Amino acid sequence: MEFVVASIELFDSRSRSKGDLAGVFEYDGDTGYFYLYETPNGCGQKVVGAIQILSGDPDFEQADINVRWDARETKVGLFIRGQLCAAFDSEGGTKYGGNYHRGVELRMPSEILMAF
């Protein structure tokens, strides 16, 4: 008898109010990435940045994930259980974080942490 384990898929995204950029987290059952998408005129999509978040099984659920923009809508961040795990600065094209491990605090510049 063969047992098949169902893989879990996780997804969250937020577009900024202009509709031109979106932060997207996707876990496909194997790996999880946080993407910055360009969505010109609200149609089509182009990945302009990617940060690997994890490989293997996550220790979090859909309810633990939150993608959000800062108040100025220049930075978008991925939060897992309330902790900022990855971020993109859309003005400078800089990316931060990644390689999530539970209980390990990621080093983020204070200006990025303070933005959220």
Domain boundaries, the chain: 11-115
As a dihedral over the C-alpha atoms of residue 97, residue 56, residue 60, residue 73, rounded to 10 degrees, the angle is: 30
pLDDT for position 8:
86
pTM for the structure as a whole: 0.89
Residue in 51, 64, 68, 65 with CA at minimum distance from that of residue 17: 68
Between CA 89 and CA 52 the distance in angstroms is 16
Q: In which residue ranges of the chain is pLDDT below 70?
A: 1-7, 42-43
pLDDT for position 104:
81
pLDDT for position 42:
58
As a dihedral over the C-alpha atoms of residue 87, residue 14, residue 47, residue 36, rounded to 10 degrees, the angle is: -10
Residue in 81, 83, 97 with CA at minimum distance from that of residue 36: 97
State the chain's mean pLDDT as an integer: 90
Residue in 18, 16, 22, 17 with CA at minimum distance from that of residue 35: 22
Residues 6+ apart with CB under 8 A from 89: 74, 75, 95, 96, 112
| Residues belonging to the chain | 116
pLDDT for position 59:
92
Q: Which long-range contacts (CB under 8 A, 24 or more apart) does 102-106 make?
A: 102/59, 102/60
pLDDT for position 83:
92
pLDDT for position 114:
95
